[in-house]
Structure 1
Amino acid sequence: MQDLPQNPELRSACLIFNPVAGQSDPDRDLAQIRAILEPGIDLDICLTTKEVGADSLARAAVERGVEAIIASGGDGTLSAAAAAVVGTEIPLGIISRGTANAFATALGIPDTIEAACQTILQGVTRKVDAAYCNGQPMVLLAGVGFEAETVELADREAKNRFGMLAYVFAGLQQLQNLEPFEVSIETEEKVITVSAAAVTVANAAPPTSILAQGSAGIEVDDGLLDVTIVAPATKTGAVAAAYHLFQSASSGTATERDDIGYLRANRFKIIATPPQKVVLDGEMAGTTPIDVACVPRGLTIFVPSLPEVEPIEKLEGLPDLVVEFKDSSGFDELQV
């Protein structure tokens, strides 16, 4: 992890709030956010609508020269707001209120309103990688094939009713229609061609995004993207591969199955035959081909303060302890 600088006291910020995110009461959520933040921060509150998204609200805030942007909503809202501050020094505060909250989990940010607000008030920031996929901003990942089909099946009504289980149900349904496709994956150094059921390009990903866990060690500030290729021969193999990836994410150990591959690079070009649907940070984003490029340390985010460092010395209590302090001359010159 990079050094975590302490920003000067934050005096004002633009709060971009999505009232339809998640399953909680938006009026109550907004009131709680204001109650915690407004005593110390002058908030310019902007609500997203069907016509005006978080991306345009955030870009307008950047043009106004705001001190910080705070985004509250699901992963799509957070990613859209992040787009406006990539490559700037404007820090982004994250208050997750979505179904999956993958954005917060992947970046080590609390996913409760109170803890997320306190993180912003502490003023500690970290620079992490961002990316662009076909010119659109990407903070988390782009999924090609199986994951995109699953996300599309898990519509808003299902997510409101079942929460995270909506993705599970959609995944089981999509498993019945599993169709491999030919895919070409190009980096600066090589081109590989393979038959796969899912290809995931990750900049950052929580353990719950199992199709991104081939390497089981995604670093959010290494200047590289991680690609995981899942190529099961049968539906039974797909279930086994998914379970293995879950184990990899849990243990932090890279996968060793023959039907799962992974590689890292700064940029990937992916072409699928036939063309496959693409999901980008939890939102549908057209079809392949895609061109994904990393922006090293291009995003500044508010993160929790580091825990207090444990004492590096503890001698008290040792039997027959004698401590003699040396004078200021220190060590004698070493004779070699």
Structure 2
Amino acid sequence: MSRKACLIFNPVAGQGDSEQDLATIKSYLEPEFELEVQFTTKEIDGAELASQAVANGVETIIASGGDGTVSAVAGALIGTDIALGAISRGTANAFANALGIPDTIKAACDTILVGSTKKVDVGICNEKPLILLAGIGFEAETVEDADREAKDRLGILAYVLSGFKQLQKFTKFTAKIETKDKLITVEANAITIANAAPPSSVLAHGTAGVIFDDGLLDITILAPQTKTGAIATSFQLLQSASNKEAVDSDGVGYLRSEWIKVTTEPPQKVVLDGEIIGKTPIEVKCIPNGLNVFVPMEGKIQPKEKLDNLSGVDIELKQ
């Protein structure tokens, strides 16, 4: 007897032929699943379609689109045992890369068909689901500048070019960062709060590997003093992402926490799982093991933190 599954498909994601992509997905999954296909539109997003599927008692929900689609669908599954399958067809596909999910349609379908499920952490940021990361400042400006036309034409290179453009501005802001046991004030260019992040999400990798099932958020604070320092720091963060060793550089701080609140002056734009959601302040809480995903297993790394090398940091331990 075939298993029942709902496929939530974003027809405008990525650079490929969406009709061909859908036909390919169905050819792999329909022999094993009784597959109901739902399409996202401008009026109806993945969250609404996933909520309907949950109400209908579906045991497996598969999201096919970019990170925004996967994040929206995942939000409806938090705290349930419904298995989430991800077939990524977006520009960055950061969620799949972070969790080791293959980035081709056939291999992603194979993961769903024969792979085991794993409980991973999720976050809630200003009442919105967070499966990847929230970026404040530099990253948000970079994402906003890389418009749909540029992403369709250049793919991931659109983000790289936008990042170089934003680096020329080198905008700083004052941030107050509050966790359960710390209060930090710092002049920063960017703050990234990550639940999961692939190596390509460079600004998230101050810590020694972002861990997606440790019950903690990974916070990286980027505060170089010059443009040259910012470029050098970016390369160091890239190395950290590759070798999973913590960055040892002036102007980079990091910590891990289950809860964080960030207020900035002036208010800064915020990008959440690839989508601009507004401006600071933001409050993020980690929900341990909140999502059940078809994904290969991955080991853990012991948490670390480093804050004492940031210029202008004031740390107050709460009683």
Counterpart of 2:311 in structure 1 is none
What SS does structure 1 have at the residue aligned with 2:169? coil
8 Å CA contact 1:129–1:298 kept in 2: the answer is yes
2:22 paired with 1:30? yes
Q: CA deviation at 1:108?
A: 1.1
8 Å CA contact 1:210–1:249 kept in 2: the answer is yes
In structure 1, how many angstroms separate the alpha carbons of the residues matched to 2:274 and 2:285?
18
Counterpart of 1:206 in structure 2 is 198
2:120 paired with 1:159? no
Q: CA deviation at 1:305?
A: 7.6
Amino acid at match of 1:189: D
1:77 corresponds to which of 55, 64, 69: 69
In structure 2, how many angstroms separate the alpha carbons of the residues matched to 1:10 and 1:136?
33
Counterpart of 2:216 in structure 1 is 224
1:179 corresponds to which of 158, 171, 182: 171
Q: Which has the larger radius of gyration?
A: 1
The TM-score, its normalising length taken from structure 2, stands at: 0.92
Amino acid at match of 2:108: A
What SS does structure 2 have at the residue aligned with 1:129? strand
1:131-280 correspondence to structure 2 within 5 Å: 131-280=123-272
1:120 corresponds to which of 109, 112, 134: 112
Counterpart of 1:68 in structure 2 is 60
Counterpart of 2:32 in structure 1 is 40
In structure 2, how many angstroms separate the alpha carbons of the residues matched to 1:40 and 1:253?
41
Q: CA deviation at 1:250?
A: 1.3
8 Å CA contact 1:200–1:227 kept in 2: the answer is yes
2:286 paired with 1:294? yes
In structure 2, how many angstroms separate the alpha carbons of the residues matched to 1:299 and 1:55?
14
With over 3 angstroms needed to count, the CA separation of the structure-2 counterparts of 1:150 and 1:62, relative to structure 1, is same
In structure 2, how many angstroms separate the alpha carbons of the residues matched to 1:66 and 1:182?
46
Amino acid at match of 2:98: A
8 Å CA contact 2:173–2:266 kept in 1: the answer is yes
What SS does structure 2 have at the residue aligned with 1:176? helix
Q: What 5-or-longer segments of structure 2 have no aligned partner?
A: 299-319
In structure 1, how many angstroms separate the alpha carbons of the residues matched to 2:52 and 2:165?
41
Q: Deviations over 1:169-217 (max 9, x none)?
A: 1001111112110001000011000000000000000011000000131
In structure 2, how many angstroms separate the alpha carbons of the residues matched to 1:129 and 1:147?
22
8 Å CA contact 1:10–1:121 kept in 2: the answer is no
Identity within the alignment, %: 61
Q: What 5-or-longer segments of structure 1 have no aligned partner?
A: 1-8, 307-336
How many residue pairs match? The answer is 298
What's the Cα RMSD here? 1.2
2:93 paired with 1:111? no
With over 3 angstroms needed to count, the CA separation of the structure-2 counterparts of 1:10 and 1:214, relative to structure 1, is farther
4+ long deviations beyond 2 Å = none
2:3 corresponds to which of 6, 11, 22: 11
